[in-house]
Structure 1
Amino acid sequence: MMAYWGEIAALLTALFWTVTSMAFESAGKKVGSLAVNLIRLVIAFFIYSIYTQISRGMWFPFDATTYQWGWLALSGLVGFVIGDLLLFQAFVVVGARISMLIMAMTPPFTAFISYFILGEVLSPMNWVGMIITLLGISMVILKRENSALNGGEKIRKRLTSAYSVPGILLALGGALGQATGLVLSKKGMGDYDAFAASQIRVMTGIVGFAILLVFMKRYHRVWAALKNISAMKRISLGSFFGPFLGVSFSLIAVQNTKAGIAATIMSIVPVLIIPPAIIIFKEKVNWKEVVGAVITVLGVAIFFV
């Protein structure tokens, strides 16, 4: 069992991200994605401080080296500020279910980036698994549409997007940001404590979003969000399962297995999120979307063959 500790941590990460994506989608539609991003990181920082004080005897990562601070801070900037900003806006535009499905693009992005930065090489079966995962995603987001030619005499079928193109691009940007953040985290973390490493990333994210809010003159939205009790409940729930548990377990995963494998297992959220999407948000899910999500998970399962 411990031989697969990295894979198990990645699976738990997927469960945590299922909860947090639903919570943040709901909160983002109420108070905006920028406010949600900053508040959830501040909450997560205090959770980390309490946990690391208990587990390590220090509330702040005083023992991190300059090397670790540099790479983990860069990881937080890329993964949290850039990647999550795009992802959270995708939640608002196309919803958490489709956004997290597109986020399954993270594995090939991660594998490609880790090849150049970490020198990690995936096996042929790993690549087969990722190709199947991508086929599952394509099945959901693409559709065939009839178009008339020559005054309607001929009908031609063409592939189009079944969902908002800007929303899909936002989610793709989120996937690229998360993939880069994962690889940078692994490079900077080494054997350092995953929770303390996550705390460094969170602090960088707080600074980045604070600067962004001031620059865009949207800081008033933070105060409005803090007064919205319903939104704050969702942000608090998402903060515990996302920036705290989810991010920390994702780092545990990349510490104990290849970054590309960890990212692929984390991408099963699209299947995990279907039941709550139907029950909580009353979304209508057709058979093609269910089959596409299942194919995505089958692609993940190949990593264990």
Structure 2
Amino acid sequence: MQNYFGEIAGLLTAVFWTVTSMAFESAGKKVGSLAVNLIRLVMAFFFIGIYSWIARGFFFPSDATAFQWQWLVLSGIVGFVIGDLLLFQAFVVIGARISMLVMSLAPPFAAFVGWLVLGEVLTLKNWLGMAVTLAGIVIVILKREKTEHNGSVVRKIKSGYSATGILLAVGGAMGQAAGLVLSKKGMGSYDAFSASQIRVLAGIAGFSVLFFFMKRWPRVWSALKNRPAMNRITLGAFFGPFLGVSFSLLAVQHTETGVAATLMAIVPVLIILPSVVIFKEKVNWKEVFGAVITVTGVALFFL
């Protein structure tokens, strides 16, 4: 079991992200995605701090080096402020299920960033995996529609979901991919939970500056008074930036990045059943098939 610690952490990350994505979709529709982003990071900071104080004797990651702070702060800004800002708005526009399907592009994007920044080699199989992943997403997103024009039937292929929502989710995938590469570079052998806390702190600072210029603080105070939304944000914060992000760092720390990313990318399949049961979404066979193809593409890309 110890030999597969990284793989188990990757699988648990997928489960945690399934829970948190649904919780944040519901909360975001009640109080807005911006307020959800900031509140859940503040909660996560204290969740991690309490855990670290019990486990390591450090509430604050004061034992991290300047090098680790530099790269993890950058990772937090890119991953949390930019990536999650776009992703959470995608939750509101197109829902968590489709957003997390598009987020399956994060592992290929991460490898692509590694190729550009770190000079890592991409093989023919890697490129094929990226193509299969894209194909799976296209199967779900696009649909054929029949229309009548001048008495004749015209068949058009169009997106079944908001183009804005899809682009927001793609931006979220890019942010998460870049954040993962930067966090791996900065973390090294440092404690994964404390590394997450540094990233969370950077996210809080980034959103605070953003809220100051956008004058959104009243929305935060209003969100804090919304009990149903706060219950969902608390649930999402516990399973997302506390457990989910920390376990994702444990996964990349204890196994190959590609293997960890592949296991974490099964969220689009895991989220289908709760989306049907909780949100009463209608899922057809084409969407299930597309989700499976997408995950298969991610696996082919790395394994």
Aligned residue number for residue 144 of structure 1:
144
Aligned residue number for residue 31 of structure 1:
31
Q: How far apart in 1 are the matches of 2:285 and 2:250? A: 35
Do the aligned partners of residues 99 and 304 (structure 1) sit closer, same or farther apart at CA in structure 2, a change above 3 Å counting?
closer
Aligned residue number for residue 163 of structure 2:
165
Are the counterparts in 1 of residues 104 and 298 from structure 2 also a CA contact under 8 Å?
no
Are the counterparts in 1 of residues 108 and 298 from structure 2 also a CA contact under 8 Å?
no
Are the counterparts in 1 of residues 7 and 255 from structure 2 also a CA contact under 8 Å?
yes
Q: CA deviation at 1:228?
A: 0.6
Q: How far apart in 2 are the matches of 1:256 and 1:123? A: 23
Q: Which runs of 5+ in 1 are unaligned?
A: none
TM-score for the superposition, normalised by structure 1: 0.93
Residue 6 of structure 1 pairs with residue 17 of structure 2: no
Report the 3-state secondary structure (helix = DSSP H, G, I; strand = E; otherwise coil) of the residue aligned with 2:58. Answer: coil
Do the aligned partners of residues 131 and 12 (structure 1) sit closer, same or farther apart at CA in structure 2, a change above 3 Å counting?
farther
Q: CA deviation at 1:130?
A: 3.8
Are the counterparts in 2 of residues 107 and 130 from structure 1 also a CA contact under 8 Å?
no
**Where in structure 1 do 4 or more consecutive aligned residues deviate above 6 Å?**
none
Q: CA deviation at 1:301?
A: 4.5
Do the aligned partners of residues 206 and 34 (structure 1) sit closer, same or farther apart at CA in structure 2, a change above 3 Å counting?
same
- Amino acid across the alignment from 1:176: M
Q: Which runs of 5+ in 2 are unaligned?
A: none
Q: CA deviation at 1:287?
A: 1.1
- Amino acid across the alignment from 2:27: A
Do the aligned partners of residues 121 and 13 (structure 1) sit closer, same or farther apart at CA in structure 2, a change above 3 Å counting?
farther
Aligned residue number for residue 274 of structure 1:
272
Q: Deviations over 1:28-82 (max 9, x none)?
A: 0000001100000000000111000111111111111111100000000000000
Q: How far apart in 1 are the matches of 2:136 and 2:126? A: 16
- Amino acid across the alignment from 2:224: L
Aligned residue number for residue 285 of structure 1:
283
TM-score for the superposition, normalised by structure 2: 0.94
When the two structures are aligned, how many residues end up with a matched partner? Answer: 303
Q: How far apart in 1 are the matches of 2:141 and 2:251? A: 28
Aligned residue number for residue 189 of structure 1:
187
RMSD of equivalent CA atoms: 1.9
Percent identical residues: 70
Do the aligned partners of residues 276 and 39 (structure 1) sit closer, same or farther apart at CA in structure 2, a change above 3 Å counting?
same
Do the aligned partners of residues 260 and 58 (structure 1) sit closer, same or farther apart at CA in structure 2, a change above 3 Å counting?
same
Aligned residue number for residue 58 of structure 2:
58
Q: CA deviation at 1:107?
A: 1.4
Q: CA deviation at 1:191?
A: 0.8
Aligned residue number for residue 179 of structure 1:
177
Do the aligned partners of residues 154 and 50 (structure 1) sit closer, same or farther apart at CA in structure 2, a change above 3 Å counting?
closer
Q: How far apart in 2 are the matches of 1:284 and 1:216? A: 37
